[in-house]
Amino acid sequence: MKPTRRAVIDVGTNSIKLLIGEVADGVARPIDERSDQTRLGAGFYENRELQPVPIARTASAVARFVAMARDAEAESIRIIATSAARDARNAEDLTQAIQRAAGLRVEIISGEQEAEWVFCGVTSDPALHGRSLLILDVGGGSTEFIVGGHEHHSFRHSFPIGSVRLLEQLRPGDPPSLADLAGCRQWLHDFLSREIGPSLDKILDGDARQNVTLVGTGGTTTILARMERKLERFDRASIEGTKLSRQQILEYMVHLWSVSLANRKKMVGLPANRADVIIMGVAIYEAVMQHFNLPELYVSTRGLRFGALLDTP
Protein backbone atom coordinates (compact mmCIF):
# COMPACT_ATOMS: atom_id res chain seq x y z
CA MET A 1 0.00 0.00 0.00
CA LYS A 2 1.37 3.40 -1.01
CA PRO A 3 1.96 5.71 2.01
CA THR A 4 -0.24 8.77 2.36
CA ARG A 5 1.24 11.95 3.78
CA ARG A 6 -0.93 13.55 6.45
CA ALA A 7 -0.63 16.40 8.94
CA VAL A 8 -2.22 16.94 12.35
CA ILE A 9 -2.10 20.25 14.20
CA ASP A 10 -2.89 19.94 17.90
CA VAL A 11 -4.19 23.13 19.55
CA GLY A 12 -3.48 22.56 23.23
CA THR A 13 -3.80 24.64 26.37
CA ASN A 14 -0.07 25.30 26.53
CA SER A 15 1.31 24.79 23.03
CA ILE A 16 0.49 24.16 19.39
CA LYS A 17 2.08 21.07 17.88
CA LEU A 18 2.44 19.87 14.30
CA LEU A 19 3.02 16.29 13.20
CA ILE A 20 3.53 15.46 9.53
CA GLY A 21 3.79 11.77 8.81
CA GLU A 22 3.40 9.07 6.22
CA VAL A 23 0.82 6.41 7.00
CA ALA A 24 0.67 2.96 5.45
CA ASP A 25 -0.82 -0.32 6.69
CA GLY A 26 -1.68 1.16 10.08
CA VAL A 27 1.83 2.47 10.74
CA ALA A 28 2.72 6.17 11.01
CA ARG A 29 6.24 7.35 10.17
CA PRO A 30 7.02 10.91 11.33
CA ILE A 31 8.41 13.26 8.68
CA ASP A 32 8.43 16.55 10.57
CA GLU A 33 7.40 17.75 14.01
CA ARG A 34 7.15 21.30 15.33
CA SER A 35 5.95 22.97 18.53
CA ASP A 36 5.14 26.57 19.39
CA GLN A 37 4.12 27.59 22.89
CA THR A 38 1.27 30.10 22.65
CA ARG A 39 -0.16 29.47 26.16
CA LEU A 40 -3.75 29.53 24.96
CA GLY A 41 -4.89 28.84 28.53
CA ALA A 42 -3.23 31.94 30.01
CA GLY A 43 -5.76 33.80 32.16
CA PHE A 44 -8.44 31.31 31.15
CA TYR A 45 -9.30 29.50 34.36
CA GLU A 46 -10.63 32.53 36.21
CA ASN A 47 -13.78 32.88 34.10
CA ARG A 48 -13.49 30.16 31.41
CA GLU A 49 -12.89 32.72 28.65
CA LEU A 50 -10.00 32.53 26.20
CA GLN A 51 -8.13 35.84 26.08
CA PRO A 52 -7.65 37.87 22.85
CA VAL A 53 -3.83 37.87 22.84
CA PRO A 54 -3.39 34.08 23.33
CA ILE A 55 -6.09 33.52 20.69
CA ALA A 56 -4.19 35.71 18.22
CA ARG A 57 -0.87 33.97 18.98
CA THR A 58 -2.51 30.59 18.55
CA ALA A 59 -4.19 31.46 15.25
CA SER A 60 -0.89 32.78 13.88
CA ALA A 61 0.98 29.62 14.93
CA VAL A 62 -1.65 27.38 13.37
CA ALA A 63 -1.46 29.34 10.11
CA ARG A 64 2.34 28.87 10.02
CA PHE A 65 1.99 25.14 10.61
CA VAL A 66 -0.68 24.82 7.92
CA ALA A 67 1.72 26.51 5.47
CA MET A 68 4.48 24.07 6.49
CA ALA A 69 2.16 21.11 6.00
CA ARG A 70 1.22 22.35 2.54
CA ASP A 71 4.88 22.88 1.65
CA ALA A 72 5.49 19.29 2.73
CA GLU A 73 2.72 18.21 0.31
CA ALA A 74 0.47 16.74 3.00
CA GLU A 75 -2.62 15.25 1.38
CA SER A 76 -4.75 16.09 4.39
CA ILE A 77 -4.39 18.63 7.20
CA ARG A 78 -6.40 18.17 10.39
CA ILE A 79 -6.64 20.80 13.14
CA ILE A 80 -7.82 19.50 16.51
CA ALA A 81 -8.34 21.47 19.72
CA THR A 82 -8.44 20.00 23.22
CA SER A 83 -9.03 21.00 26.84
CA ALA A 84 -9.05 24.81 26.85
CA ALA A 85 -11.12 25.01 23.67
CA ARG A 86 -13.73 22.48 24.80
CA ASP A 87 -14.09 24.17 28.21
CA ALA A 88 -14.23 27.74 26.91
CA ARG A 89 -17.40 29.80 26.89
CA ASN A 90 -16.05 31.69 23.89
CA ALA A 91 -14.56 28.79 21.91
CA GLU A 92 -16.05 30.27 18.75
CA ASP A 93 -13.67 33.23 19.03
CA LEU A 94 -10.79 30.78 18.71
CA THR A 95 -12.22 28.68 15.90
CA GLN A 96 -13.14 31.76 13.86
CA ALA A 97 -9.68 33.31 14.37
CA ILE A 98 -8.00 30.11 13.18
CA GLN A 99 -10.34 29.80 10.21
CA ARG A 100 -9.54 33.39 9.17
CA ALA A 101 -5.78 32.91 9.60
CA ALA A 102 -5.37 29.39 8.24
CA GLY A 103 -8.44 28.85 6.05
CA LEU A 104 -9.28 25.52 7.69
CA ARG A 105 -11.93 24.32 10.13
CA VAL A 106 -11.03 23.36 13.70
CA GLU A 107 -12.37 20.22 15.37
CA ILE A 108 -12.90 20.63 19.12
CA ILE A 109 -12.63 17.06 20.33
CA SER A 110 -14.17 15.54 23.46
CA GLY A 111 -12.06 14.23 26.32
CA GLU A 112 -13.14 10.71 25.38
CA GLN A 113 -11.97 11.16 21.79
CA GLU A 114 -8.69 12.58 23.03
CA ALA A 115 -8.16 9.56 25.27
CA GLU A 116 -9.06 7.21 22.40
CA TRP A 117 -6.46 8.73 20.09
CA VAL A 118 -3.84 8.76 22.86
CA PHE A 119 -4.40 5.02 23.35
CA CYS A 120 -4.24 4.37 19.62
CA GLY A 121 -1.02 6.36 19.26
CA VAL A 122 0.81 4.91 22.26
CA THR A 123 -0.10 1.29 21.47
CA SER A 124 1.33 1.67 17.97
CA ASP A 125 4.72 1.20 19.66
CA PRO A 126 5.73 -2.47 19.05
CA ALA A 127 7.66 -2.48 22.35
CA LEU A 128 4.37 -2.18 24.25
CA HIS A 129 2.53 -4.97 22.45
CA GLY A 130 1.20 -7.62 24.82
CA ARG A 131 1.50 -5.47 27.94
CA SER A 132 -1.20 -4.23 30.30
CA LEU A 133 -0.93 -0.44 30.29
CA LEU A 134 -1.91 2.58 32.35
CA ILE A 135 -1.39 5.49 29.96
CA LEU A 136 -1.22 9.10 31.15
CA ASP A 137 -1.21 12.09 28.85
CA VAL A 138 -0.63 15.15 31.02
CA GLY A 139 -1.53 18.28 29.09
CA GLY A 140 -1.89 21.92 30.00
CA GLY A 141 -5.55 21.70 30.91
CA SER A 142 -6.43 18.03 31.25
CA THR A 143 -4.93 14.60 31.84
CA GLU A 144 -6.15 11.52 30.02
CA PHE A 145 -6.08 8.22 31.92
CA ILE A 146 -6.42 5.06 29.85
CA VAL A 147 -6.16 1.45 31.03
CA GLY A 148 -5.85 -1.28 28.42
CA GLY A 149 -3.70 -3.39 26.21
CA HIS A 150 -3.86 -5.85 23.32
CA GLU A 151 -5.49 -3.09 21.19
CA HIS A 152 -8.43 -2.78 23.61
CA HIS A 153 -9.00 -0.53 26.62
CA SER A 154 -11.17 -1.12 29.67
CA PHE A 155 -11.11 2.47 30.94
CA ARG A 156 -10.57 5.89 29.42
CA HIS A 157 -11.35 9.28 30.87
CA SER A 158 -10.16 12.87 30.67
CA PHE A 159 -9.82 14.62 34.03
CA PRO A 160 -9.64 18.41 34.56
CA ILE A 161 -6.08 18.44 35.84
CA GLY A 162 -3.13 19.81 33.88
CA SER A 163 0.12 21.73 34.22
CA VAL A 164 -1.17 25.17 33.17
CA ARG A 165 -4.46 24.73 35.03
CA LEU A 166 -2.63 23.81 38.27
CA LEU A 167 -0.05 26.56 37.89
CA GLU A 168 -2.75 29.21 37.49
CA GLN A 169 -4.75 27.78 40.39
CA LEU A 170 -1.99 27.20 42.96
CA ARG A 171 0.41 30.03 41.97
CA PRO A 172 3.58 28.93 43.85
CA GLY A 173 6.27 31.46 44.69
CA ASP A 174 9.56 31.89 42.87
CA PRO A 175 11.36 29.89 43.95
CA PRO A 176 8.57 27.71 45.29
CA SER A 177 8.61 27.17 49.05
CA LEU A 178 8.37 23.87 50.89
CA ALA A 179 4.84 24.92 51.82
CA ASP A 180 4.04 25.43 48.11
CA LEU A 181 5.21 21.92 47.29
CA ALA A 182 3.38 20.44 50.27
CA GLY A 183 0.21 22.26 49.25
CA CYS A 184 0.46 20.99 45.67
CA ARG A 185 1.04 17.41 46.80
CA GLN A 186 -1.91 17.60 49.19
CA TRP A 187 -4.13 19.02 46.45
CA LEU A 188 -3.14 16.20 44.09
CA HIS A 189 -3.59 13.56 46.81
CA ASP A 190 -7.10 14.83 47.48
CA PHE A 191 -7.97 15.00 43.78
CA LEU A 192 -6.71 11.49 43.11
CA SER A 193 -8.54 10.08 46.13
CA ARG A 194 -11.77 11.88 45.30
CA GLU A 195 -11.96 11.97 41.49
CA ILE A 196 -9.70 9.26 40.06
CA GLY A 197 -9.21 6.59 42.71
CA PRO A 198 -12.87 5.49 42.93
CA SER A 199 -12.77 4.53 39.23
CA LEU A 200 -9.26 3.17 38.86
CA ASP A 201 -8.63 1.55 42.23
CA LYS A 202 -11.09 -1.21 41.32
CA ILE A 203 -9.58 -1.76 37.88
CA LEU A 204 -5.98 -1.66 39.12
CA ASP A 205 -6.49 -4.00 42.04
CA GLY A 206 -4.22 -6.84 43.14
CA ASP A 207 -2.37 -8.54 40.29
CA ALA A 208 -3.56 -5.97 37.77
CA ARG A 209 -1.63 -3.23 39.56
CA GLN A 210 1.51 -5.35 39.89
CA ASN A 211 1.54 -6.23 36.19
CA VAL A 212 0.60 -2.86 34.68
CA THR A 213 3.14 -0.69 32.83
CA LEU A 214 2.79 3.04 33.45
CA VAL A 215 3.28 4.93 30.17
CA GLY A 216 3.60 8.70 30.05
CA THR A 217 3.13 10.66 26.85
CA GLY A 218 3.20 14.40 26.25
CA GLY A 219 5.44 17.33 27.10
CA THR A 220 6.26 16.56 30.73
CA THR A 221 7.64 13.06 30.16
CA THR A 222 9.44 14.08 26.99
CA ILE A 223 11.20 16.84 28.92
CA LEU A 224 12.10 14.53 31.81
CA ALA A 225 13.61 12.06 29.33
CA ARG A 226 15.56 14.89 27.69
CA MET A 227 16.86 15.99 31.09
CA GLU A 228 17.81 12.44 32.01
CA ARG A 229 19.69 11.97 28.73
CA LYS A 230 21.12 15.54 28.65
CA LEU A 231 19.54 16.25 25.25
CA GLU A 232 19.60 19.86 24.05
CA ARG A 233 16.97 19.10 21.40
CA PHE A 234 14.06 16.77 20.88
CA ASP A 235 15.32 13.43 19.58
CA ARG A 236 12.53 10.90 19.19
CA ALA A 237 14.80 7.88 18.84
CA SER A 238 16.69 8.71 22.05
CA ILE A 239 13.59 9.61 24.08
CA GLU A 240 11.24 6.79 23.06
CA GLY A 241 11.24 4.02 25.64
CA THR A 242 13.21 5.90 28.30
CA LYS A 243 12.45 4.43 31.72
CA LEU A 244 12.37 6.51 34.89
CA SER A 245 11.96 5.00 38.34
CA ARG A 246 9.57 6.37 40.94
CA GLN A 247 12.61 7.49 42.95
CA GLN A 248 13.97 9.40 39.94
CA ILE A 249 10.63 11.13 39.41
CA LEU A 250 10.56 12.10 43.09
CA GLU A 251 14.11 13.46 42.89
CA TYR A 252 13.32 15.48 39.76
CA MET A 253 10.23 16.91 41.45
CA VAL A 254 12.09 17.92 44.61
CA HIS A 255 14.92 19.49 42.60
CA LEU A 256 12.69 21.38 40.17
CA TRP A 257 10.57 22.75 43.02
CA SER A 258 13.67 23.89 44.94
CA VAL A 259 15.12 26.33 42.41
CA SER A 260 14.03 29.59 40.84
CA LEU A 261 12.43 29.90 37.42
CA ALA A 262 15.58 31.60 36.12
CA ASN A 263 17.70 28.63 37.17
CA ARG A 264 15.22 26.09 35.77
CA LYS A 265 15.51 27.86 32.42
CA LYS A 266 19.24 27.01 32.38
CA MET A 267 18.77 23.26 32.86
CA VAL A 268 19.87 21.02 30.00
CA GLY A 269 16.91 19.33 28.35
CA LEU A 270 14.31 21.68 29.82
CA PRO A 271 13.06 24.21 27.23
CA ALA A 272 13.07 27.68 28.78
CA ASN A 273 9.44 28.29 27.81
CA ARG A 274 8.36 25.15 29.70
CA ALA A 275 10.34 25.89 32.87
CA ASP A 276 7.32 27.27 34.73
CA VAL A 277 4.79 24.49 33.99
CA ILE A 278 7.21 21.55 34.37
CA ILE A 279 6.94 21.66 38.16
CA MET A 280 3.22 20.89 37.96
CA GLY A 281 3.63 18.20 35.31
CA VAL A 282 6.23 16.26 37.31
CA ALA A 283 4.12 16.63 40.47
CA ILE A 284 1.16 15.00 38.71
CA TYR A 285 3.25 12.00 37.67
CA GLU A 286 4.78 11.66 41.14
CA ALA A 287 1.32 11.74 42.73
CA VAL A 288 -0.03 9.06 40.39
CA MET A 289 2.97 6.79 40.95
CA GLN A 290 2.61 7.19 44.71
CA HIS A 291 -1.17 6.66 44.76
CA PHE A 292 -1.06 3.49 42.69
CA ASN A 293 2.34 2.35 44.01
CA LEU A 294 3.85 2.15 40.52
CA PRO A 295 7.63 1.60 40.38
CA GLU A 296 8.53 2.85 36.89
CA LEU A 297 7.47 5.20 34.10
CA TYR A 298 7.92 4.32 30.41
CA VAL A 299 8.21 7.41 28.20
CA SER A 300 6.32 7.38 24.89
CA THR A 301 6.74 9.99 22.17
CA ARG A 302 3.54 8.76 20.56
CA GLY A 303 0.07 9.80 21.63
CA LEU A 304 -2.70 12.12 20.55
CA ARG A 305 -1.24 13.29 17.24
CA PHE A 306 -0.11 9.78 16.27
CA GLY A 307 -3.60 8.47 16.96
CA ALA A 308 -5.27 11.29 15.04
CA LEU A 309 -2.87 10.78 12.13
CA LEU A 310 -3.73 7.08 11.97
CA ASP A 311 -7.47 7.82 12.20
CA THR A 312 -7.52 10.49 9.49
CA PRO A 313 -9.35 9.34 6.31
Domain containing 231 — which CATH number? 3.30.420.150
- Considering the domain boundaries, does residue 311 fall inside one? no
The partner residues of 137 in beta bridges, in order of sequence, read 144, 217
Could you tell me the residue range of the domain that residue 276 belongs to?
Answer: 126-305
- Considering the domain boundaries, does residue 119 fall inside one? no
What would the mean pLDDT of 86-110 be, rounded to a whole number?
Answer: 97
The whole-number pLDDT of residue 87 equals 94
**CA–CA dist 114, 300 (Å, integer):** 16
Answer yes or no: is pLDDT of 215 > 90. Answer: yes
Q: Are residues 213 and 84 in the same domain?
A: no
The whole-number pLDDT of residue 204 equals 85
CATH of the domain at 92: 3.30.420.40
Q: Are residues 79 and 134 in the same domain?
A: no
The whole-number pLDDT of residue 201 equals 87
**CA–CA dist 169, 274 (Å, integer):** 17
pLDDT-derived band at 210, boundaries 50, 70, 90: confident
The whole-number pLDDT of residue 130 equals 87
Nearest to 154 by CA among 88, 228, 205, 192: 205
- Cβ count near 155 (within 10 Å): 15
**CA–CA dist 297, 282 (Å, integer):** 12
- Look up the pTM and report it: 0.93
Q: Are residues 156 and 296 in the same domain?
A: yes
Q: Are residues 153 and 294 in the same domain?
A: yes
The whole-number pLDDT of residue 203 equals 87
Beta strand 296-300 with 212-217: parallel, antiparallel or unpaired? parallel
Answer yes or no: is pLDDT of 209 > 80. Answer: no
Q: Are residues 211 and 274 in the same domain?
A: yes
Q: Are residues 186 and 37 in the same domain?
A: no
pLDDT-derived band at 77, boundaries 50, 70, 90: very high
**CA–CA dist 77, 179 (Å, integer):** 46
Answer yes or no: is pLDDT of 58 > 80. Answer: yes
pLDDT-derived band at 22, boundaries 50, 70, 90: very high
- Considering the domain boundaries, does residue 313 fall inside one? no
Alpha-carbon distances, residue 235 vs 226, 231, 308, 309 (angstroms): 8, 8, 21, 20
Number of domains the chain contains: 2
Nearest to 297 by CA among 226, 225, 232: 225
**CA–CA dist 252, 254 (Å, integer):** 6
The residue ranking higher by pLDDT, 149 or 266, is 266
